[in-house]
Amino acid sequence: MVILTLNCGSSSAKYQVFDWDDKNVIASGVVERVTQEGGSITHNATGKPEYKMSHECPNHTIAVELIIRTLTDPEVGVIRDMSVIKAVGHRVLHGGNKFTKSVIVTPEVLETFREVQDLGPLHNPANIMGIEAAQKVLPNVPHCAVMDTAWHQTMPDTSFMYAVPYEWYEQYAVRRYGFHGTSFLYTAKRASVILGKKPADTNVIIAHIGNGASMCCVKNGVCFDTSMGITPLEGLVMGTRSGDCDPALAFYMMRKAGMTVQDIDTALNKKSGLLGITGKYADRRDVSKAMEAGDKRAELAFKLETYRLRKYIGSYIAAMGKVPDALVFTAGVGEFHSGVRAGVCAGLEHLGIKLDPAKNALARTRNAETCISTDDSAIKILVIPTDEELVMTEDAFALMKGSYDVHTNFTYSFQSPDYVNKGRAEGIKRDLEKSPELATIIVKIPGATK
């Protein structure tokens, strides 16, 4: 049995194919430049060389059809025909406050996504198009929507409400929603396993740092607060997004520079953050290289980003009302950038967060969970590679079987101490050949029998 997951963005369509019987990823890839000129697909199948092909995709229907043709191709594909696919999981950015868990897509569910698409104008329309395109190609299997916002629906009103006219909330659904929920769910559950605790007894602060970045305060196993707001703009300094700033800044620039609402939206979402400060770089690797070359603006961008992260850690410790079990880093930057992790943890020793520089330098892998804190650190510092696609896959399978429920009443395979990701198990062997010392920081799972 095969489960297909799709993540359709405004100009891309990412996919993963999971063999449920073998519990292994057999293919993954991305169609790029959808709706634009110069479209292409990059396809990676287990045991086969990477396959790339140029293909114009003027819409998401053609992109999904291209994915299916590639998956069933006699030479580069991994399945014999579409009948092997039994369910499709779709990532949806914004579900508003309508959903607390993943759902099977119905016409009513799609209509709800349309109703709230103003809350996610860059992503929700593409998500909807991707679902409709996949339904046309695969009309006889359940299609399941996995919302980035669902995980955060446990927040108390003191966390999600804004101090603005209350009728804005009543009439226009103005509130904090939060994003990266699928990543936070996975890493929070894995943190419980690593700590040897039940999810309900687990208290962690998670930093999901990629081009987009957000933090989550997980209290007693559920989301208590998060840094992103009604849109993914609020919170941390990101690759091209400003994060927190005075709301009156927009009005000031409109008066002083004659900027329109659209100009402000574009500036804050696409021209700010690291790119805005450096004038050149949105990628942390480029920022780091420029810092080493003496670029002062790159240094400022780095310091702004890490300072904002530290501020959120301090505020979440205060909000949690107890000493957290761990600080968790995840996503591309969180998993690989030792410099950012070091910058974030600098000066937090008085809060019980003590980073081990040698361990931190070793932690550069997507194939294992590592601990980079000192032995006497009151709060563990963990690097947990995220796996949003696995959450989507398991949600889709459980929805198909009728066994799914909200995450506090549902147990994922990766919550077992004996859980093994086969692809990552092979990958860590290669990583250890290159860096044998990595073995010293890989976490030992309490209760594991394998």
The pLDDT of 37-56, averaged and rounded, is 92
> Apex CA 372: angle with CA 370 and CA 377, to 5°?
125
| 204 shares a domain with 105 | no
The pLDDT value recorded for residue 34 is 86
Q: CA-to-CA distance for 14 and 63, rounded, in angstroms?
A: 10
In a domain? residue 169 = no
Which of 137-141, 288-292, 306-310 comes out lowest in average pLDDT?
137-141
Q: Which of 205, 169, 146 is nearest to 399 (CA)?
A: 146
The pLDDT value recorded for residue 257 is 97
Which residue, 383, 411, 436, sits at the end of a domain?
A: 383
Going by pLDDT thresholds of 50, 70 and 90, the confidence category of residue 315 is very high
Q: Respond yes or no: is residue 286 known to be catalytic.
A: no
| 121 shares a domain with 230 | no
**Consecutive H or E run containing 327:** strand 326-330
Residue 31, helix vs strand vs coil: strand
User: By percentage, how much of the chain surpasses pLDDT 90?
Assistant: 82
In a domain? residue 266 = yes
Q: CA-to-CA distance for 441 and 269, rounded, in angstroms?
A: 37
401's CB contacts (< 8 A; 6+ apart) are none
The pLDDT value recorded for residue 96 is 83
Are the CB atoms for 184 and 208 separated by under 8 Å? Answer: yes
Each residue's pLDDT tens digit, 71-103: 999 999 999 888 899 999 999 988 888 888 999
| 97 shares a domain with 39 | yes
The pLDDT value recorded for residue 83 is 87
Would strands 51-54 and 40-45 be described as parallel, antiparallel, or unpaired? antiparallel
| 127 shares a domain with 29 | yes
Q: Which of these is catalytic: 19, 148, 325, 395?
A: 148
Each residue's pLDDT tens digit, 27-44: 999 998 888 889 999 999
Going by pLDDT thresholds of 50, 70 and 90, the confidence category of residue 331 is very high
Indicate whether 273 pLDDT > 90.
Answer: yes
107's CB contacts (< 8 A; 6+ apart) are none
Which residue, 383, 414, 442, sits at the end of a domain?
A: 383
In a domain? residue 72 = yes
Q: Token match 């659209």: residue?
A: 262
Going by pLDDT thresholds of 50, 70 and 90, the confidence category of residue 59 is confident
In a domain? residue 442 = no
Using CA of residue 99, residue 105, residue 106, residue 112, what is the dihedral sign? positive
| 112 shares a domain with 260 | no
Residue 439, helix vs strand vs coil: helix
Residues belonging to the chain: 450
| 327 shares a domain with 230 | yes
Domain count, the chain: 2
| 135 shares a domain with 40 | yes
Q: CA-to-CA distance for 384 and 388, rounded, in angstroms?
A: 12
Domain containing 306 equals 197-383
Concatenate the DSSP letters of all residues of 57-91 into one string: -SSHHHHHHHHHHHHT-TTT-S-SSGGGEEEEEEE
Each residue's pLDDT tens digit, 214-231: 999 999 999 999 999 999
Domain at 242, CATH number: 3.30.420.40
Each residue's pLDDT tens digit, 354-409: 999 999 999 999 999 999 999 999 999 999 999 999 999 999 999 999 999 999 99
As a whole number, the mean pLDDT across the chain is 94
The pLDDT value recorded for residue 118 is 79
Tell me how far CA of residue 130 lies from CA of 14, 47, 80, 118, in angstroms. 10, 28, 23, 17
The pLDDT of 112-116, averaged and rounded, is 88
| 328 shares a domain with 239 | yes
Residue 205 CB neighbours (<10 A): 26
| 338 shares a domain with 212 | yes
Each residue's pLDDT tens digit, 137-173: 889 999 999 999 999 999 999 999 999 999 999 999 9
Q: CA-to-CA distance for 341 and 307, rounded, in angstroms?
A: 11
Going by pLDDT thresholds of 50, 70 and 90, the confidence category of residue 133 is confident
In a domain? residue 55 = yes
Which residue, 341, 358, 383, sits at the end of a domain?
A: 383
| 238 shares a domain with 104 | no
The pLDDT value recorded for residue 399 is 95
| 239 shares a domain with 119 | no
| 104 shares a domain with 232 | no
In a domain? residue 186 = no
Burial of 430 (0-12, 13-18, 19+ CB in 10 A): exposed
- pTM score of the predicted model: 0.94
In a domain? residue 349 = yes
In a domain? residue 278 = yes
